[in-house]
Amino acid sequence: MSPLMSILAGLGIGSIAGLLSGLFGIGGGIVIVPMLAFLLKFPTSKAVGTSLAAMLLPVGIIAVVRYAKAGEVDFKVSTAIGVAIFVMAGVGAAVGLNVGSVWINRGFGVLLLLVGIKFLLTA
């Protein structure tokens, strides 16, 4: 794929991820990683790394400002979550880089299945 097509694909993926992130509070893993893997044929580890780099700043600022203005953010809880993410993301990255794409894909599939079942049964 040409660099221009990759950038255009990235803009499309980012548009979908941004919309769904603001709407459902979901992160890059559920949207960006699969799209990078399927559309741009990225290996899982490269898709994960690219997704993390893309999500590092933009999602937090715009969406949080809107939710905070509506009084829908608990900053004490979000800070605690953020500290834990900061500590554990490095652990997750180290594990992910060592277990291989097959196990990451399988684990992610199981996670999505369980979350999907939970949401379907409690709707």
pLDDT 10s digit of each residue in the chain, 123 long? 898 998 998 888 888 887 777 777 777 678 888 888 889 999 888 888 888 888 776 666 777 888 889 999 888 988 887 788 788 888 888 888 888 888 888 888 898 898 889 889 986
Task: Note the helical H segments in 25-100.
Answer: 28-39, 44-55, 58-69, 75-99
Asked whether 32 and 51 are in contact (CB, 8 A), the reply is yes
